[in-house]
Structure 1
């Protein structure tokens, strides 16, 4: 199975160690979503923007670990989207983004440039 990561799970980011056993397939941009800064990590919600991300192939064990990390407490929900590498799971943020900073560039790695 494949997964799209757009924030702290990306290469050289704070939670990238969760992707140690994943196979990087390539970079990608997903349209129809907006990226918000939640503090230590971001959240993606449906919207009019473009989000920069990475696509990985993961095994069932890694997917289970990521589900436990991301869906605990209902913060995120998985949504299947199409990529050049085939369909992939994207974690959509489930809480309100009212009052949160939108990352206008759509790129978590450039979040400080948007301030």
Structure 2
């Protein structure tokens, strides 16, 4: 199975150790979503933007661990999306993003860069 990661699970980020047993397949941009900062980690919601991601092949055990991390308390839900590497699971944020910082670039790695315009 495959998973899309867009924030703290990406390479060289704070939670990238969760992907240690995964196989990196490549980078990808998902269209029709927007990225928001939730503080130390991001959330993706449906919208009019694009989000920069990494796609990994993972095993069922890793998916179970990520589900426990991400879906606990209903904060995220998994959604199946298409990528050049095949369909992959994306964790979509389920709570309000009102008052949260919109990362217009769609790239968590650029979250501290000044916004254009």
TM-score, structure 2 as length reference? 0.97
Partner of 2:83: 83
Is the 1:103–1:114 Cα contact (8 Å) retained in structure 2? no
Number of residue-to-residue matches in the alignment: 115
Shift of 1:85: 0.1
Instruction: Tell me the SS of whatever aligns to 1:112.
Output: coil
2:62 maps to what in 1?
Answer: 62
TM superposition shift of 1:114? 3.8
Query: Deviations for 1:71-110, whole angstroms, at most 9, x for unmatched residues?
Result: 0000000000000000000000000000101000000000
TM-score w.r.t. structure 1 length?
A: 0.99
Q: Tell me the CA shift for residue 59 of structure 1.
A: 0.2
Question: Runs of 4 or more off by more than 2 Å in structure 1?
Answer: none
Residue aligning to 1:111: 111
**SS of the residue aligned with 2:113?**
helix
Per-residue Cα deviation, 1:41-88 (whole angstroms, up to 9, x for no partner): 000000000000000000000000000000000000000000000000
CA distance in 1, matches of 2:97, 2:114: 17
RMSD, aligned CA: 0.7
Counterpart Cα distance in 1 of 2:7 and 2:32: 17
